[in-house]
Chains A and B, each alone.
Chain A
Amino acid sequence: MNEVTKGYLNMELLRFTTAGSVDDGKSTLIGRLLYDSKAIFEDQMEAIERASKKMGEDEGVNLALLTDGLRAEREQGITIDVAYRYFATPRRKFIIADTPGHIQYTRNMVTGASTANVALILIDARNGVIEQTNRHAYIASLLQIPHIIVCINKMDLVDYSEEIFEKIKLEFKNISTKLDVKDIRFLPISAKLGDNVVDRSEKMKWYDGPTLMYLLETIHISADYNQLHQRFPVQYVIRPQKDEYHDYRGYAGRIASGIFKPGDRVKVLPSGIKTKIKGIDFMEEKLDVASAPQSVTISLEDNIDISRGDMIVGENKAPEMGQEIEMMISWLSEDAMKMGGKYILRHTTNELRCVIKEVKYKIDINSLEKNFDDKSISLNEIARISIKTTKPIYYDPYRLNRITGSLVLIDEATNNTVCAGMII
C-alpha cells in the first residue's frame, strides 16, 4: 500500500453547519474552502461562470450559485433548503450543511445543526453582533453543537483592526453567557481575500491563533460522543434461516452512546431483564469493542424476547423512563401545532403516539426572551412544551445524549415530520 492510500484510511469525518445570508460572505467562505481544497471541479466552475454572466454579475464568479441547486433558488437568487457540500483534506473529510440564515428558515438551520460537530457563525466586522447572530448562536446551543467557531469576516473592510475584533468578541461572549455552549473560538478572517482561511494573514500579525482550515482539521471531536452511558436501540432482529446459523439471533442497530464489549452485563428495556453480551458481529468480523456511531449486530447470552424499539443498556446508569416528557421544540410545519392534538412520535427506533399537553413558553430567538402568554405554535417557532406518550419511553436528557434525547413528531393526517424535540 502506498503512503497516499494509507493516508486515506486514516481520515476522520467532521460535520459542520454554516448559517448566514449572502451578505455575510458565507458563500464566498464556503467557495474558498471548496476551491482551496480542490473540491470544485473545472466543469462546475465553468458552469458557474456561465451562469454568473447570464445573471449579469459584474464581480466575476458568484460562488453562491455553486450551492443553490434548485431551479427556483437560482432564479430567485436565494437558498431555500439545506444543501450538503463535501470536501476533504489529507486529515479529514468534511460535510457542510449549508443553511439559509433568515428567520423564515429556522427549521432548515435546526435540521442542519442536528448532526453537526461544529457550527460556523459568520459576523460581518463592519456590523458586529446583530439579531441574526443571536439566532445562530441560540440554535447552535439549543441543538448542542459541541463546538462553535465564530468567524469575524470582512476584516479587510475595517483595516484589519484588532480593536474591532476584540470588541465583537466581547459582544458575542455577552450573548453566549446566556447560552449552553461548551467551546467557542474566534477568528478574524477575510473570506474574499483569503486571510486566515487556509493561509495565515500577512495583514493581521497581532493574531497568533490558528487559521480556519487548521482549526477544522484539528478540533478534537472524538470525545463529542457520550462514551459513558451504554445505549443500543434495537433496530432490526436478525434470524438467518440457514442451517449453519440455526440458533443465531442477532440484534442489529447503531450504537447511540457508550462502549460495548463482549461479556458486558446489560439490561434490556422495557422488560428490564438482565443478561450478558455474547458477541458483537460486523459481518465476519468479531469485534472486541464497539462504540458510537458504529452499526453492529449484538448477540446476547440468554434467549430473550426482544424487538425493534427495545433498548440494550448498561446495567448501571440506566436511562430515564416515563410518559410525561418535557422538551424544547422547533416547529417544522406550516400547519400550526394542535393543542391537545395527537401525533406519531419517533424516538430512537421506537414509534408510538403522544398528545400535546402544555406549552410552557415560546422563545423569541432574536431577543432570546421568553413569552409565557402566547401559546400558539407555528412554523419556525421554538418553545418549551410537555407531551404525554401512550407507553413509557426510555431516554436521556438531550444535553447528555443527542440520540436518546431527541425525537420527532409526525402528523397522522399528512404523514409530514412537523416537530423536532429535545428532551429536557
Chain B
Amino acid sequence: MNGYNLNHLRELESESIFIIREVAAQFENPALLFSGGKDSIVMFHLARKAFWPAKIPFPMLHIDTGHNFQETLDFRDRLMKETGTECIVAMVQDSIDEGKAVEETGVNASRNKLQTVTLLDAIEKHKFDAALGGGRRDEEKARAKERFFSHRDDFGQWDPKNQRPELWNLFNGKKNMGEHFRVFPLSNWTEMDVWQYIFMENVDVPSLYFTHKREVFKRDGVWLAKAPFMELKDGEEVKVMDVRCRTIGDITCTGVTLSKADNLEDIIKEVAATRETERGGRADDKRSEAAMEDRKKEGYF
C-alpha cells in the first residue's frame, strides 16, 4: 500500500476503522449488529483490522427473525467459530412468545418490522450503550441524513430534526443513562464500494450472493424465494431459476435477482450495469415513501 496516495477504498476503510475504534474508546459496552449480510461481514472484517492483533473488544449481536436463509446461519456460525468471536443471538420468536410483538398475518406478512422490538429488548437486556450497524447513506433517502453517531433516546427513538452536528472527525457519544447510540461506520460507502472492497480484500461472503438454482415466485414485480412459512397468492407460480441475492435480509421480504454471476468480478460488473437500487427489491421499503424514516424513528436498524 502506498502511503502517499490512497485509493478511495483505502480512504473509506481508514474512515470506518477510525469510527469503530472511536466506539470502543467512547462507550462502555458496545455491540456490532451482525446479520450475515455483506455489509455486516465487511463491518466484521473492518473491526478485526481495527484491533488486530487483539480480538474485537465487543460481541456481535444477531437479531434472528427465524425466517433466515439457512446458508446465512451456517456462514455466521462458521465465521464466529473460526475467529473465536462471541455472538449473541436474540430471537424475534421469543419476543412474540412473550407477547411483546404481534406476528403480522396475511400473504405479505413479514417479521421485518418486529425486529425493532427484539433489538431494543436485547439492547436493554445486555445494557448495550452503542450498537454498530452496517447502514449506508446511499441505501435510502432517510439514511442520507443520518449521522455516523446517531443518538437514540431512552425509547430507542431517532429524532431526525434534532441530530448533533458532526464536523471533521470529532464524534460526540455523550449521553444520559438509558440512552444509546447507533453508529454507522459504512455511512459513506455505496453498494459498489462494498463489492469492490470485498474483492480487493478477498473477504468471504455467503454463497447466496452467487448464482444458484432456487425455487422462486414473482410478487409485485419482485422475485421472492419460496420458503415453508410463506403463503402463495392465487396465480403465483413457483419456478426454478438461476438467481442470486443482492441483499440478504428476512427471507419473506428479500427479493432475489435473476443472475448467472458466479464470481466477484461478474457481480461488480452487474452492479455497475444495474439500473435499480439495491433496496428496490425490498418489499419492506415499498410500503410508503417514508417507510424507512418511520421505522427508523421507532428504533429500527
Question: Which residues does A use to contact B, with CB under 8 Å?
Answer: 1-2, 4-5, 8-13, 41-44, 47, 51, 66-72, 74, 80-86, 88, 92-93, 95, 107-108, 110-111, 114-115, 222, 227, 235-236, 238-242, 244-245, 248, 250, 252-254, 259-260, 281-285, 287-291, 293-295, 297, 308, 332, 344, 346-347, 349, 402-403, 406-408, 410, 415-417, 420
Known A12-B7, A84-B137, A293-B15; contact A283-B164, beta-carbon cutoff 8 A: no
Question: Taking the complex as formed, is B80 at the interface, i.e. its CB lies under 8 A from any CB of chain A?
Answer: no
3 smallest CB-CB distances across A and B, nearest first, come from A69-B141, A240-B54, A415-B174
Q: Could you tell me how many residues of chain B have their Cβ less than 8 Å away from some Cβ of chain A?
A: 71
Q: Can you pick out 10 interface pairs between chain A and chain B where the beta carbons lie within 8 Å of each other?
A: A83-B144, A115-B167, A236-B21, A240-B55, A259-B4, A283-B49, A293-B11, A294-B3, A349-B25, A402-B168
Cβ-neighbour of A11 out of B7, B13, B21 (below 8 A): B7
Q: Is the CB of A44 within 8 A of B170?
A: no
Chain A nearest Cβ from B290, distance in angstroms: 5
Given contacts A4-B269, A44-B277, contact A416 B164 (CB under 8 A): yes
Give chain B's interface residues, CB within 8 Å of chain A.
Answer: 1-15, 17-18, 21-22, 24-25, 48-55, 137-138, 140-145, 160-161, 163-170, 172, 174-176, 187-188, 190, 192-193, 196, 199-200, 265, 268-269, 272, 274-277, 280, 289-290, 293
Asked if B52 and A297 sit within 8 Å, CB to CB, the answer is yes
Q: What would 12 more interface pairs be, CB under 8 Å, given A284-B52, A420-B167? A: A5-B265, A5-B268, A11-B9, A41-B276, A66-B141, A69-B140, A70-B142, A81-B145, A86-B138, A238-B51, A295-B15, A406-B170
Contact of A92 among B8, B170, B275 (CB under 8 A): B8
A112 CB to nearest B CB, Å: 9
Within the complex, what minimum Cβ distance (angstroms) separates A8 from chain B?
5
CB A399 to nearest CB in B, in angstroms, measures 14
Choose from A11, A245, A295, A416 the contact partner of B17 (Cβ within 8 Å).
A295
| B166 engages A84 (CB within 8 Å) | no
Residues of the A chain whose Cβ atoms lie less than 8 Å from the Cβ of B188: 84, 86, 95
Chain A residues lying within 8 Å of B277, measured Cβ to Cβ, are 41, 43-44
Contact A332 B5 (CB under 8 A): no
| Chain A proximity of B14: nearest CB distance (Å) | 4
Which residues of the other chain, A, contact B166 by a CB distance below 8 angstroms? 111, 417
Q: Taking CB as reference atom, which chain A residue is nearest B45?
A: A283
Per the bound structure, the CA–CA distance linking A110 and B15 in Å amounts to 20
Chain A residue at minimum C-beta to C-beta distance from B280: A43
Contact between chains at A13 and B8 (CB < 8 Å): yes
Nearest-CB residue, chain B, relative to A114: B167
Among B3, B175, B190, which residue has its beta carbon within 8 angstroms of that of A88?
Answer: B190
Bound complex: CA A415 to CA B9 (Å): 33
Main secondary structure, interface of A, reads mixed
B25 touches A222 (CB 8 A): no
A239 to B214, CA, bound (A): 47
Min CB distance, A247 to chain B, in Å? 11
Contact between A70 and B200, CB atoms less than 8 A apart: no
**B47 to A: closest C-beta gap in Å:** 11
A221 nearest CB neighbor, chain B only: B5
In the complex the two chains form, is B144's CB within 8 Å of A252's CB? no
Task: Given A5-B199, A93-B8, verify A71-B290 contact (CB < 8 Å).
Answer: yes
Identity of the chain A residue whose Cβ is nearest the Cβ of B9 in the assembled complex: A9
Closest chain B residue to A110 by CB distance?
Answer: B167
Pairwise interchain contact B172-A13, C-beta atoms closer than 8 A: no
Query: Are the CB atoms of A70 and B160 closer together than 8 Å?
Result: yes
Q: Which residues of B contact A289 (CB under 8 A)?
A: 2-4
- Report the bound CA distance from A86 to B193 in whole Å: 11
In the bound complex, what is the Cα–Cα distance between A43 and B282 (angstroms)?
A: 12
Assembly CA distance A239 to B22 (angstroms): 16
Contact of B187 among A84, A248, A295, A402 (CB under 8 A): A84
Chain B residues near A11: list those with CB within 8 A: 7-9
Identity of the chain B residue whose Cβ is nearest the Cβ of A69 in the assembled complex: B141
- Can you name the residue of chain A whose Cβ is closest to the Cβ of B275? A42
Q: Return chain A residues, CB-CB under 8 Å to B2.
A: 289
Which residue of B has the minimal Cβ distance to A227?
A: B4
Contacts of B276 in A (CB 8 A): 41-43
* B238 smallest CB distance to A (angstroms): 25
- The residue on B at minimum CB distance from A94 is B8
Whether A242 and B8, one on each chain, are in contact in the complex, defined by CB atoms closer than 8 angstroms, is no
Q: Which residues of B contact A408 (CB under 8 A)?
A: 167, 170, 172
- Which B-chain residue is minimally distant from A411 (CB atoms)? B174
Given A84-B188, A235-B21, A415-B174, the answer on whether A114 and B168 have CB atoms closer than 8 Å is: yes
How far, in angstroms, from A416 to B2 measured CA to CA in the complex?
Answer: 39
Residues of A within 8 A of B142 (CB): 69-70
Q: Nearest residue in A to B136 (C-beta to C-beta)? A: A86
| A242→B83 CA distance, assembly (Å) | 13
Alpha-carbon gap, A420 to B172, bound state (A) = 12
The complex places the Cα of A415 from the Cα of B128 at a distance, in Å, of 19
**In the complex, what distance in Å separates the CA atom of A254 from the CA atom of B276?**
36
Smallest Cβ-Cβ distance to A332: which chain B residue: B165
Other-chain residue from A10, A85, A114, A291 in contact with B7 (beta carbon distance below 8 A):
A10
Whether A67 lies near B161 (C-beta < 8 A) is: no
In the complex, the answer to whether B137 meets A86 with C-beta atoms within 8 Å is yes
From the candidates A81, A242, A295, name the one contacting B53 in the complex (CB within 8 A): A242
Contacts of A245 in B (CB 8 A): 53-54
Closest B residue to A92 by beta carbon equals B8
Distance of A291 Cα from B4 Cα, bound (Å) = 6
Which A residue sits closest to B179, measured CB to CB? A415
Closest residue of chain A to B297 (Cβ to Cβ) is A71
The interface residues of chain B lying within 8 Å CB-to-CB of A283 are: 48-49, 52
Closest to A239 in B: B54
* Cβ–Cβ contact B22 & A235, under 8 A: yes
A257 to chain B, nearest CB (A): 13
Contacts of B144 in A (CB 8 A): 67, 69, 83-85
| B160 x A415 contact (CB < 8 A) | no
Known: A44-B277, A51-B289, A415-B176. A236 touches B25 (CB 8 A): yes
CB A60 to nearest CB in B, in angstroms, measures: 19
- For B15, the chain A residues whose CB sits under 8 A away are 293, 295
CB nearest neighbor in B for A82: B145
Measured in the bound complex, the distance between the Cα atoms of B15 and A235 in whole Å is 13
- With a cutoff of 8 Å between Cβ atoms, the chain B residues found around residue A44 in the complex are 277
